[in-house]
Structure 1
Amino acid sequence: MGDFFTPKERLLRTLNKKGVERPPVICPGGMMNSAIVEIMETTGHTLPDAHRDWRLMSQLADDVFNLTGFENIGIPFCMTVEAEALGSEVDLGSLKCEPKIAREPYASVDNVDFLPVSAVAKSPRTEIVIQSIASLSKKQPDVPVIGSVTGPVSTAASITDPMTFLKELYKNKDMTHKVLDYVTDALIEYARLLVDNGAAVISIADPTATGEILGPRIFAEYAVTYLNKLADSIHKLGVPVIIHICGKVGSVTGNLKDLRCDAISTDAMVNLHSLKEELKDTTVMGNISTYLLEFGNEESVRQNTSRLVEKGIDIIAPACGLSTSTSLKNIRALTGAVSGGVYHA
């Protein structure tokens, strides 16, 4: 093992279960968007404009990398690109508020129009994301560009009425499986475009697919099945996969062993050290409280981060989506506790 690795080498070696001198410290983008207001107001590269312009998206992603100490570039800054490509209307939000689904096109899984997978590539916002990834992967060859993908269950719940969809997981299984299979095929195409344009890692966040919402039986039937279909297809492209599962995972810990990913990321309420011991050979990632990052002080952030490093957590990262009002000093306290305070600007 060498004394030093580039950020890209360090993350890829960790995901491939090879030795590193210390854990990577990352924030993958997507649900874990680290384009905080303080950075945007400092640089003038702002959202929501960056959702519409790949050059501005690239500048903002570069700003985040340079100013935070996170050892990756994470794109995009939301979880709506895939659903928009499949027909949902999206409100792109504001400087302080991230994009959200304004209207789902289908009332039920029975009404879904099965678009060709080429619809993903034809979406203008997909083009913005892949152009930004292509540009940054060339500009920063030693930094892992992480392409963030919304998971199958969450995407399906973003193109159909979400409350109806959750009921149909139980009451309309045949059609729900068809819709999830269709959605997963679209996500595979989206991930392929990200990888073809330079994404070194794909991170999948599926916040609707939690043990608390689904329970272990439905989690296994739907979340594990379609997350694995997506992960298997990404692996065939030669790229590792991180999967983030929100909420408490106690009821689905046994199911997590069945996920065919290279690392599992969890929320702050999970004892990650215990989970790592229970899952044995699984690489674990996380899980600094985003509440602490928003409202705590630098010393508390440093102490909590150092505790995770001492307990052998493989990849250090925020536990969930960062508030846009999170302070840069607290983010730097997190990253500095891992890297020794090295920033890139």
Structure 2
Amino acid sequence: MDLLNALFKENKLPVVPLMGFPGIQLTNTTIKQNLEDAQTQFKTIKALKEKFNPDAVLYMMDLSVEAEALGLKINKPENESYTVSEHPITNIEELRKLKIPNPLKDGRMPLFVEVTKKMAKEFPDVPKIAYVIGPYTLVGLMTGAENTVINSMMEVEFVHEELNFAVEVIKRYGDALIEAGADALCILEPTATVLSPAMFEEFSGNYVKQLKKYWNYPTILHICGNTTHLIPSMVKTGCDGLSLDSDVSLRDVKFQIPDGVLIIGNLNPVSTVAYGKREQVEKEIRRLIEDMKDKKHFVLSSGCDIPGDADLENIQLMFDVARGRI
């Protein structure tokens, strides 16, 4: 599926909130139930699709999937995002003991592959976007984010060896998701937000570029936080879309992003979309649409993942305003 043509085929502003967790309100399930069972998660994604009819469908964002498949210990609360509880890789010898996981067998990778298959079968005419972790972020989970940043200055060879390993993990998982029917992959690289442009290109951007070139497939890069200083370097990765957080002023950076590259964002997922008052939410949506009216390939979205207890009416406002219903 041609991602650009699929999103813009009806000559309207595409609306694709980064939503997954809010669907638990529609299926009366918990986040944990969805992250542990493919059928439950697909039921939730389907409920979101039926309620909002977004212009692309994503499954639930989970940054712990690849780490768990590597054997790292994971905190699994009932109604919050999963997190990695230990970061055991502190040297090259420990790194070399790790094995590349099989996406069809190891950890919960098979669960998300199965959800992707169900999405592909159920929603053939809508783009399906699957998440993979970014290489620098996976290294941060293996070694600890703070240690990884320090190592990027003090133990450069070690970090690059970790990154090469991370890329192989992500390649195989991405292959399985593409085979399952994903129309695009979204690389989640939040740990890279702390890097300078030069360090980003060395420790993240060049590896993201490798992934894009390897897959030769529609790829979106998402980095949380204020990435204003990284926009030119993010463009250099060759990704087909940039998903930018609410800390970035799209009005200020939009002309740094070439035509043909998706700009996805960037309402505040918490203070605006999840918990904002209706008047505030509508005002923010209209302001953002106005700011981006001269960019052909803008996709209205949240700046990051929307919390599970978000006001569903605020999500609905995104569609109603963008589609001229109000």
Amino acid at match of 1:289: N
CA RMSD of aligned residues (A): 2.3
Q: SS at the partner of 2:243? A: strand
Deviation at 1:340, TM superposition (A): 4.2
Amino acid at match of 2:36: R
Count of residues in Structure 1 that have an aligned counterpart in Structure 2: 320
Match of 2:100 among 108, 117, 120: 117
Q: SS at the partner of 1:146? A: strand
Q: What does residue range 195-274 of structure 1 map to in structure 2 within 5 Å?
A: 195-210=178-193, 213-235=194-216, 239-274=217-252
Amino acid at match of 2:307: S
Deviation at 1:45, TM superposition (A): 3.5
Q: Are residue 323 (structure 1) and residue 311 (structure 2) matched?
A: no
Match of 1:40 among 16, 20, 24: 24
| Change in 2 beyond 3 A, CA 1:329/1:254 | same
* C-alpha distance in 2 between matches for 1:278 and 1:327: 33
Match of 1:298 among 259, 278, 282: 278
* C-alpha distance in 2 between matches for 1:19 and 1:136: 20
* C-alpha distance in 2 between matches for 1:214 and 1:116: 28
| Change in 2 beyond 3 A, CA 1:220/1:77 | closer
Contact 2:227–2:248 under 8 Å retained in 1: yes
Amino acid at match of 1:22: K
Deviation at 1:325, TM superposition (A): 2.2
Q: SS at the partner of 2:192? A: coil
In structure 1, stretches of 5+ residues that fail to align are 1-7
TM-score where L is the length of structure 2: 0.90
Q: SS at the partner of 1:229? A: helix
* C-alpha distance in 2 between matches for 1:110 and 1:337: 55
Contact 1:108–1:161 under 8 Å retained in 2: no
Deviation at 1:122, TM superposition (A): 2.4
Match of residue 142 from structure 1:
125
Q: SS at the partner of 2:242? A: strand
In structure 2, stretches of 5+ residues that fail to align are none
Q: SS at the partner of 2:21? A: coil
* C-alpha distance in 2 between matches for 1:40 and 1:76: 11
| Change in 2 beyond 3 A, CA 1:340/1:48 | farther
Deviation at 1:182, TM superposition (A): 0.8
Q: Show CA shifts across 1:95-121 (max 9, x none).
A: 2x1111122232345531354434444
Match of residue 12 from structure 1:
4
Q: Show CA shifts across 1:57-87 (max 9, x none).
A: 1111112222244332212431111111122
Q: Show CA shifts across 1:2-24 (max 9, x none).
A: xxxxxx87x53177xx7651121
Deviation at 1:307, TM superposition (A): 2.8
Match of residue 23 from structure 1:
13
Once the two structures are aligned, what percentage of the paired residues are identical?
23
Deviation at 1:341, TM superposition (A): 5.5
Contact 2:20–2:60 under 8 Å retained in 1: no
TM-score where L is the length of structure 1: 0.85
* C-alpha distance in 2 between matches for 1:129 and 1:69: 21
* C-alpha distance in 2 between matches for 1:33 and 1:101: 22
